[in-house]
Chain A
Amino acid sequence: SQKIEQNSEALNIQEGKTATLTCNYTNYSPAYLQWYRQDPGRGPVFLLLIRENEKEKRKERLKVTFDTTLKQSLFHITASQPADSATYLCALYSFRDDKIIFGKGTRLHILP
């Protein structure tokens, strides 16, 4: 069956360190993968998109990698700050399914 897996447990990272979140998928051939941030009581907000032919994307302190062999995307926040605390969702699109499907999200806590 098709699955998108993100760490279900919360991730606690010390301020200033790099936070790394993982998104694994099975039985998908994604054309692209997106990362969103969601704060409590709010809708998700788009952060980054990476396509199947791209290895890495950067935006300010954010970096996303995409390994189609491992079927995995890594999301990095460098020089993390308490304001980065939120739930981070990955989502993927495949031509076969023709829709965007979300993972369950990973809650990130940046400790001051």
Chain B
Amino acid sequence: NAGVTQTPKFRVLKTGQSMTLLCAQDMNHEYMYWYRQDPGMGLRLIHYSVGEGTTAKGEVPDGYNVSRLKKQNFLLGLESAAPSQTSVYFCASSYSLTGQGTEAFFGQGTRLTVV
């Protein structure tokens, strides 16, 4: 029972490089989210998706792009990494936002350092 799986777990990028973080869930959840967590800032929502083929901006979307081509996968892209994007990134999924099944299941996180 894998739940939410993020790859990679760690990554070091040089300023200006690009990369994609992959999130996969096996719970048939409609909703998926990308958060970043920084010391003293808590979890901040970057982008989210309410279903396959849909994406929406969260609190801090600048510098990131996302895609949800398949229901089980949610990709987070950094086109030109900046040191300010050094953070721990968490992917999460939930069955719904209202009604039953609103609890979010989180991945183990990706620690990204941009030098």
User: Taking beta carbons and an 8 Å cutoff, which residues of A are in contact with B?
Assistant: 8, 31-32, 34, 36, 41-46, 49, 89, 91, 93, 95, 98-105
Contacts and interface: CB of A to CB of B under 8 A. Distances in A.
B45 interface: yes
Interface string B32-71: 0101000011111100100000000011000000000000
Contact of A104 (B4, B40, B59): B40
B97 A43 contact: no
Given A41-B109, A100-B97, A34 B102 contact: yes
Q: Is the contact region of chain A dominated by helix, strand, or loop, or is it mixed? A: strand
20 contacts: A8-B40, A34-B104, A36-B104, A42-B109, A43-B4, A43-B90, A43-B107, A43-B109, A44-B43, A44-B90, A44-B106, A45-B106, A89-B43, A93-B98, A98-B97, A99-B45, A99-B58, A99-B97, A100-B45, A101-B59
